[in-house]
Amino acid sequence: MNLNLKGRKAIVCGASKGLGRACALALAEEGVDLVINARNAEVLAQTAAELRQQTGVSVQAVAADITTEAGRKAVLAACPGPDILVTNAGGPPPGDFHAWDEQTWHAALDANMLTPIFLIKAVVDGMRERGFGRIVNITSSAVKAPISILGLSNGARSGLTGFVAGLARETVVDNVTINNLLPGSFETDRLTSTLESYAQKLGTTAAQVRQQQMQANPAGRFGDPSEFGAMCAFLCGTQAGFITGQNLLLDGGDYPGTF
Ligand code: NAP
């Protein structure tokens, strides 16, 4: 399927590794020019070089903390009028809610709710004027089914989800869609550290938790980031203009509900 994205411009945040990187690669394979972002400049530059080499598109790397105003400014300055925005940042730390003070909650809200909202605010009007825009927020399956040790994620991401549900229905008339992609368990660094936290809590090893969780998933495995990237690219394609305000779960069937 040709997604008709050749020559479009995308900002992909949190894109040096994992799911963000997979989204960037899938878009680049469709001929989309990229501005990619992450904090570690060296790892980001390496990813940018690999994406250029693999796909031949233009890739600009902006090393910055996207959860800060200065970071968002730097990324937007590199691409003030994107056709596509993929929001992403690291997830909040796991833990027990008794230990989380106001500062911890504010950090989670900044990273996983307010940062995507401020980025959307900066680009959405231009997209509407130009008659094309695709915004994809990487959130979490925790939005549909809370994850016990990730209370900060359960809470902060639900705020973003509620906001997007409203705005997505206003922008679609101008061919600007906003959707959320909800990852279940995907093979990334983030998953490895989450498994380690579970293992500590349960007094077992990360390898054992990994095995148990894979077996418990109807697919019998974790997801491959390329599967996530492909869905992101499809949502950005011209054919997906009638899909907006949705929360699309990619979890191998792990969530047990009919709807
Ligand atoms: P990952 O492998 O750890 O990659 C995270 C990426 O985001 C890296 O490129 C990282 O680079 C960048 N990043 C982190 N904080 C940032 C910041 N403040 N500013 C800019 N870039 C930042 O994580 P992942 O597994 O791809 O997860 C992506 C998102 O999906 C996270 O929010 C995670 O909680 C969520 N999620 C993942 C899973 C899963 O199974 N993998 C499941 C549910 C939800 P730097 O560290 O260099 O900045």
| Residue that the structure tokens 């809610």 belong to | 97
pLDDT in tens, the chain (259 residues): 999 999 999 999 999 999 999 999 999 999 999 999 999 999 999 999 999 999 999 999 999 999 999 999 999 999 999 999 999 998 899 899 999 999 999 999 999 999 999 999 999 999 999 999 999 999 999 999 998 889 999 999 999 999 999 999 999 999 999 999 999 999 999 899 989 988 998 999 999 999 999 999 999 999 999 999 999 999 999 999 999 999 999 999 999 999 8
Ligand 1 centroid distance, CA of 199 (Å): 20
Cα distances from 100 to residues 108, 114, 123, 147, 200, in angstroms, run 10, 19, 33, 16, 19
Ligand 1: which residue has its CA nearest to atom 23?
A: 190
121's enclosing H/E stretch is: helix 115-130
Ligand 1 atom, smallest distance to 92 CA: 34
pLDDT at 68: 97
C-beta atoms surrounding 44 within 10 Å: 21
C-beta atoms surrounding 56 within 10 Å: 11
Kindly give, in sequence order, each residue whose CB lies less than 8 Å from that of residue 255, ignoring residues fewer than 6 positions away: 141, 144, 145, 184, 249
pLDDT at 178: 98
Ligand 1 atom, smallest distance to 112 CA: 32
pLDDT at 215: 97
Ligand 1 atom, smallest distance to 65 CA: 19
Ligand 1 centroid distance, CA of 156 (Å): 15
Q: Which of 115, 182, 188 to mutate to test the pocket of ligand 1 (most atoms within 8 A of CB)?
A: 188
Ligand 1 atom, smallest distance to 67 CA: 18
* Listed residue (216, 217, 199, 200) closest to 208, CA to CA: 199
Entry pTM: 0.97
